Amino acid sequence: MGLLDDLKQEAAELQAKDVDTPEVAQTDVDEDRARRMLGAKMQALYKYFNEFNEHLNVVSPDVSGDYLLEGLGTLTNLRQGDYKLATDDPKSIQKFTFHWACARQGRHEFKVENPIIAEKHRENLWNQNLRFNKRDLQNGAGAVFVIDAFVPVSFEFEADAVKNVINLKLKNLDSLGTITHSYSSEKVNAELMDELAKCVLRRPNRFDELNGEKMSDDLRQRLRESVEKEREQRNTELHISGSDEPKSSMTQRLTGSLFRRKSEAG
């Protein structure tokens, strides 16, 4: 290969690099923009729930609900409170948790006759962070659970820089268990935040609809009636030690709006 051929090959390689470079540069720009947008949305979420948390602890709204313990019974008339916001670094929000408790005085006692089923209940109660004691009965007669009227609830937000999404983990919201949703930056907006706040206050909301989940009004009403029936039945059948509280429905007794948003999310 002569000198001219060497120069032609070098020129071709340089031209190829010139063609590829704009695409690589544009990719870098897009990735940087996505990272900055993700960070901005996490900051907006943190700011919203920080403000929300402050208002809740000042107003202390009267919000209560029931939690069905599948196969055992129902923890009834639990009042919400003790709202807190936690993060490792408020200046660089990569993960934060908004949490509260639903609780009241008193304990519930449940008997499970099958030892194998009793062990499964123990695992479930442990995974749901409930406070309880388990006493095994003699001769394989099962076990007795004594459960505090206490349920911890939380929203955990975490940025995933690889997938460019914000993961939201809902724990014990309305019912026991954990549900996870993922949102692109574009879907994190003031509407989503307001619907989440309504979930906290147990007000009618469109959160499920925003996540593509639809439930008919008829089905929603049947579920409410089923929970209410279970609650009344347990109140009749079970002795709840240390509690003389009157019965109340799950309906919120809020009188007016807790707060008004002063600014929209970025």
- Encode 130-143: b = buried (16+ Cβ within 10 Å), e = exposed: bebebeeeeeeebb
pLDDT at 262 over 50: no
pLDDT at 106 over 60: yes
* Cβ proximity of 128 and 176 under 8 Å: yes
pLDDT at 74 over 50: yes
Q: pLDDT-based confidence at 248, cuts 50/70/90?
A: very low
pLDDT at 225 over 80: no
Q: Cα–Cα distance between 51 and 156 in angstroms, integer?
A: 16
Residues sharing a CB contact under 8 Å with residue 3, sequence separation 6 or more, in sequence order: none
Q: pLDDT-based confidence at 233, cuts 50/70/90?
A: low
Token pair listed for 198 = 């309504």
Q: pLDDT-based confidence at 228, cuts 50/70/90?
A: low
Q: pLDDT-based confidence at 232, cuts 50/70/90?
A: low
* Cβ proximity of 107 and 147 under 8 Å: yes
Question: In 3-state terms, what secondary structure has residue 214?
Answer: coil
Strands (E), the chain: 64-69, 73-87, 95-112, 132-136, 143-160, 165-171, 178-184
Q: What is the mean pLDDT of residues 16-34?
A: 64
Q: What is the mean pLDDT of residues 120-126?
A: 94
pLDDT at 150 over 90: yes
24-28, 87-91, 176-180, 246-250: which range is least confident on average? 246-250
Query: Could you tell me what percent of the chain has a pLDDT over 70?
Result: 70
Query: Could you tell me what percent of the chain has a pLDDT over 90?
Result: 59
Question: In 3-state terms, what secondary structure has residue 205?
Answer: coil
pLDDT at 22 over 90: no
Type of residue at 9: Q
**H runs (alpha helix) in the chain:** 3-59, 115-127, 190-200, 207-210, 217-237
Q: Cα–Cα distance between 88 and 96 in angstroms, integer?
A: 7
Q: pLDDT-based confidence at 123, cuts 50/70/90?
A: very high
Name the helix (H) or strand (E) containing 60. Answer: none
pLDDT of residue 76: 93
